[in-house]
Amino acid sequence: MPHDHSDDHSHMSDIDARVRALESLLSEKGYIDSAAVDEIVQTYETQIGPQNGAHVVAKAWTDPVFRDWLAADATAAIHSLGYTSRQGEHMEAVFNDADTHHLVVCTLCSCYPWSVLGLPPVWYKSPPFRSRAVIDPRGVLAEFGLTLPDHVAVQVHDSTAEIRYLVIPQRPLGSEGMDEASLRRLVTRNAMIGTGLALSPEATS
Amino acid sequence: MTMRLTDLPGITLQDDEPVFAEPWEAQAFALIVHLHERGAFTWAEWADALSSEIHGGQTLAYYQHWLKALETLVAAKGLTSASALTARKQDWLDAAARTPHGQPITL
């Protein structure tokens, strides 16, 4: 490959070398299969993301039987759509309504419903969000541009390694005639964490 | 004074962001998922390891915590040792130093 400094040696960062050390040692001992590791990266980069959760929410908005199932056994209901957790944790769906708004956090580390939302955004993993979401949820929501009426209670759910939460936002006004496929586009990642609301149909048209 | 989320450098609260900022983050992430699937540890054990690392008093970027917790857990589980990891890391740095730019780095 032509290069201006063809006699230059390669540069590897310390952190890159640490990851390569882990991979090469564990692979030599048979603890990992490098091809399977690459496949996991690919899957999380391309196939698993908030579009999965949006599917769950849109179906809950349009199918009362599914909604009841989701409320009773979210793990099984979500699994029925083909989204399975590789970590085996239980899912719980929490439903926003006129009186209650749900917000999800993980104060310990950053447990997150990967199977339906993909990997967590940077802010979800940040110490200020992890600590302040519990102490001052309304203040945190305001920073996301979400100011709720005083009569709406904010309920904060702390995720664990065993239980992950998916917020089912309220179906927006004006979306009555929309089918499930169009409704999915109204469901944002933040709405399913509770730091936002579902979009109004005008916002996406 | 409490820190506002919006004061954090490089954080956007609304916009989508790439899943992984750098390739090593993706590799470190996938190693944990894969080792767990192979039964090397339970997910609760991993959550404990990551939580201890995050709350260990050092403030690092998230995936740096992730990598340190991964190194600690595989050593604790006897899959490898801290000294083997350190030695192998140096092997990789040496290999990079003797590999001409643009060529694949091998041990």
Give the least confident one: A20-24, B41-45, B101-105.
B101-105
Q: Are residues A27 and A113 in the same domain?
A: no
- Block residue for tokens 């740095």: B93
Residue A68, min C-alpha distance to chain B (Å):
29
Give CA separation, A190 vs A25, A50, A95, A111, in Å: 39, 9, 14, 15
Please say if the pLDDT value at position B5 is more than 90.
no
Give the confidence band of B15 by pLDDT, cuts at 50, 70, 90: low
Q: Is residue A141 part of a domain?
A: yes
Tell me the average pLDDT across A179-189.
Answer: 93
Q: Is residue A18 part of a domain?
A: yes
Please say if the pLDDT value at position A87 is more than 90.
no
Q: Is residue A185 part of a domain?
A: yes
Active-site annotation holds for A80: no
Q: Is residue A92 part of a domain?
A: yes
Q: Is residue A6 part of a domain?
A: no
More confident residue, A89 or A34: A34
CA distance B31 to B25: 10
Q: Is residue A122 part of a domain?
A: yes
A37/B30 touch (CB, cutoff 8 Å), yes or no? yes
Bridge partners of residue A163, in order along the sequence: A90
pLDDT at res. A118: 85
Q: Is residue A119 part of a domain?
A: yes
Q: Is residue A2 part of a domain?
A: no
> Within a 10 A sphere around the Cβ of B41, how many other Cβ atoms?
18
Q: Are residues A41 and A54 in the same domain?
A: no
pLDDT at res. B16: 60
Say whether residue A45 is in contact with chain B using an 8 A CB cutoff: yes
Q: Are residues A79 and A137 in the same domain?
A: yes
Q: Are residues A62 and A135 in the same domain?
A: yes
Active-site annotation holds for A110: yes
Convert the pLDDT of each residue in A16-66 to its tens digit: 999 999 999 999 999 999 999 999 888 887 778 889 999 999 999 999 999
Average pLDDT, chain A: 89
Please say if the pLDDT value at position B4 is more than 80.
no
pLDDT at res. A167: 98
Q: Are residues A63 and A164 in the same domain?
A: yes
Give the confidence band of A203 by pLDDT, cuts at 50, 70, 90: confident
A14/B11 touch (CB, cutoff 8 Å), yes or no? no
More confident residue, B46 or A2: B46
Six-digit token pair at B82? 């801290």
Q: Are residues A174 and A161 in the same domain?
A: yes
Q: Which residues of A are annotated as a binding site?
A: 106, 109-111
Average pLDDT, chain B: 85
Taking chain B, what is the end-to-end CA distance rounded to the nearest angstrom? 50
Give the confidence band of A6 by pLDDT, cuts at 50, 70, 90: very low
Q: CATH number for the domain including A153? A: 3.90.330.10
pLDDT at res. A4: 47
Q: Are residues A134 and A100 in the same domain?
A: yes
Six-digit token pair at A37? 């590791």
Tell me the average pLDDT across A157-164.
Answer: 87
Please say if the pLDDT value at position A205 is more than 70.
no
Convert the pLDDT of each residue in B54-102 to its tens digit: 888 888 888 899 999 999 999 999 999 999 999 999 999 999 999 888 7
Best mutation site among B72, B94, B101 for testing chain A: the one with the most A CBs within 10 Å? B101
Please check whether residue B2 is in contact with residue A132, taking contact to mean a CB–CB distance below 8 angstroms.
Answer: yes
Q: Are residues A31 and A128 in the same domain?
A: no
Percent of chain B whose predicted confidence (pLDDT) is above 90: 52
Q: Are residues A26 and A58 in the same domain?
A: no
Residue B60, min C-alpha distance to chain A (Å):
10
Residue A41's domain comprises: 14-46
Task: Say which of B59, B70, B92 has its CB closest to residue A20.
Answer: B92
Secondary structure string (H, E, C) spanning chain A? CCCCCCCCECCCCHHHHHHHHHHHHHHHCCCCCHHHHHHHHHHHHHCCCHHHHHHHHHHHHHCHHHHHHHHHCHHHHHHCCCCCCCCCCEEEEEECCCCEEEEEECCCCCCCCHHHHCCCCHHHHCHHHHHHHHHCHHHHHHHCCCCCCCCCEEEEEECCCCEEEEEECCCCCCCCCCCHHHHHCCCCHHHHHCCCCCCCHHHHC
User: What's the number of domains chain A is made of?
Assistant: 2
Say whether residue A14 is in contact with chain B using an 8 A CB cutoff: yes
